[in-house]
Amino acid sequence: MKTVCKFLLALSLFSSIGGYSQNSNFSFLNEDKPNAYKKGFKVFGEAMAGSNSLNTQMFTEVLFKPTFTEKSKSAFLEGTKARTNLYASGTCGIEYYKDSSRYFFVRNNSFQAFSSDKDFSELLFFGNGVFRGQKVTTNGLNYMQANTLSAGLGFDIFKSRKLTIKSSIGFSILGNYRQFDARELYLYTDIDGSYLDADFDNVSFIDANSGIQGVGLSTDIRLDYFINKSNTISFVANNINGYYLFDNQEIKVDTSFIFNGVPFDVFDAENSVTDYLDSAFNETINRNTKTKNTAVLPTQIKLKWVHKLSSQSSIISSFEALSVGKFGMYAQAALLGTHNNNLKTKTSFGYGNFRGFTWSESVECRVKKYSFYLGVNNLHALFVPTKSTNYGLSVGLFKQL
């Protein structure tokens, strides 16, 4: 891995060197030539996890260890962020391009998004034992997760010398859908653990069911306006969607409860607070449970400006928001460089309130009719995992027919 990182870094340093013309189309790093696709198959996959305060060592420990180490836990607890935001996603798929204006796709997407005040997130992650005798509050708690499998087609809507409009539409199957929202939520654990006091202010909860939970449609749209030969601005809306749910229940609660005899660590896997709920609580839950028929997943809105410095290099600036900022806003600047007809690289830096600081390196290599792509996000996470708050990996292969 260190060898790969050094190779990518060396390529980025020389991204503006060389006298090669851009007479070959690239299939992944093509932001300076958005209509570059030729007939062929494209296979791709990417995964990322990011936070403004959780460190990447904690992400790794969630995957491979039963608990957090003291080093990663301390780095998080010593952080100064007022809120804890987290977003993780994974995508894989295959696309068949009939030409530069039409393609068919099958994609699988999954994501998790979470946001709450920092003290409340500490209670959720590590238990409420250290908060005995304290009232832990969060003003706004948002959580959503889902998995979708989509199949559909992409096509050109309009194309002229100055403006192109592209879109795609797909039929989607929804699974593993869960959502929790609260305007305000607080928990108080008695100092000797004899009771737990909880206040729910405008709380809504939708739990996941097994199997397929719903079906729907999703669409993407992209507008590219060519100001001149050196400047292009783009507007992109990804995953405009709507789903019909088969058998999901939504619980809405706006009241207070006191649970007697609850142990300290109410979020421990072996001791759930639900084991200690009284009949009054259950009656309230049952009375406020209704069938949920529709669901809408986060939509990404992105604005981008591409400025060509020369025939070999371009600067790309972009800003994006997920669910109108509810699950994150992110700004990025990148340098795209063509070294020759077969090699292209991209170096980018950015910052987001659900990712923190990002540094990414990407490379695409063409070998005859094949294009190979590799992207690595936040290389420094390999060396200082407790100081980095996000990482990711993307790979791809395009076969021209």
In Å, how far are 104, 215, 246, 248 from 243, measured between CA atoms? Answer: 21, 5, 10, 12
Residues 171-221 pLDDT 10s? 999 999 999 999 998 888 778 766 678 888 888 888 888 889 999 999 999
Query: For residues 47 and 90, is the Cβ–Cβ distance under 8 A?
Result: yes
DSSP letter for 273, please: G
Torsion 167-172-174-175 (CA) sign: negative
Q: What is the spatial distance between Cα 62 and Cα 60, in angstroms, rounded to a whole number? A: 5
pLDDT for residue 4: 40
Cα–Cα distance for residue pair 285/282, rounded to 1 Å: 5
Does 10 have pLDDT greater than 60?
A: no
Q: At 118, which helix (H) or strand (E)?
A: helix 118-126
For residue 385, how many other CB atoms are within 10 A of its CB?
21
- How far is Cα 62 from Cα 76, in angstroms, rounded to an integer? 14
Who contacts 233 (Cβ-Cβ below 8 Å, separation ≥6)?
224, 225, 227, 303, 304, 305, 306
Per-residue pLDDT, 264: 35
Overall average pLDDT of the 15-27 stretch: 50
pLDDT at position 207 is: 83
What's the whole-number mean pLDDT along residues 350-357?
94
| In 75-228, beta strands by DSSP E | 83-99, 102-117, 135-159, 163-189, 195-206, 212-228
Choose between 356 and 126: higher pLDDT: 356
Distance of alpha carbon 156 from alpha carbon 39, whole angstroms:
15
Provide mean pLDDT across the span 140-147: 94
> Is the sign of the CA dihedral 208, 213, 216, 220 positive or negative?
positive
d(CA 99, CA 103): 7
* Structural contact between residues 362 and 29, judged by C-beta atoms closer than 8 angstroms: yes
pTM: 0.85
Separation CA 245–CA 247 (nearest Å): 6
Between CA 280 and CA 379 the distance in angstroms is 52
Report pLDDT for 306.
Answer: 96
Residue 356 is encoded by which pair of tokens?
Answer: 């923190």
Residue whose C-alpha is closest to residue 241's, from 299, 314, 328, 311: 299
Contact 356, 345 (CB under 8 A): no
Neighbours of 173 (CB within 10 A): 16
> Can you give the pLDDT at residue 305?
97
Tokens of 254: 């706006």
* 45-49, 91-95, 127-131, 140-144: the lowest-pLDDT one: 127-131
pLDDT category of residue 258 using cuts at 50, 70 and 90: low
Q: What is the pLDDT of residue 20?
A: 40
Helix, strand, coil % in the chain, rounded to nearest 5:
15, 60, 25
Rounded CA separation 345/374 (Å): 10
Cα separation, 152 vs 144, whole angstroms = 25
Mean of all residue pLDDT scores within the chain: 85
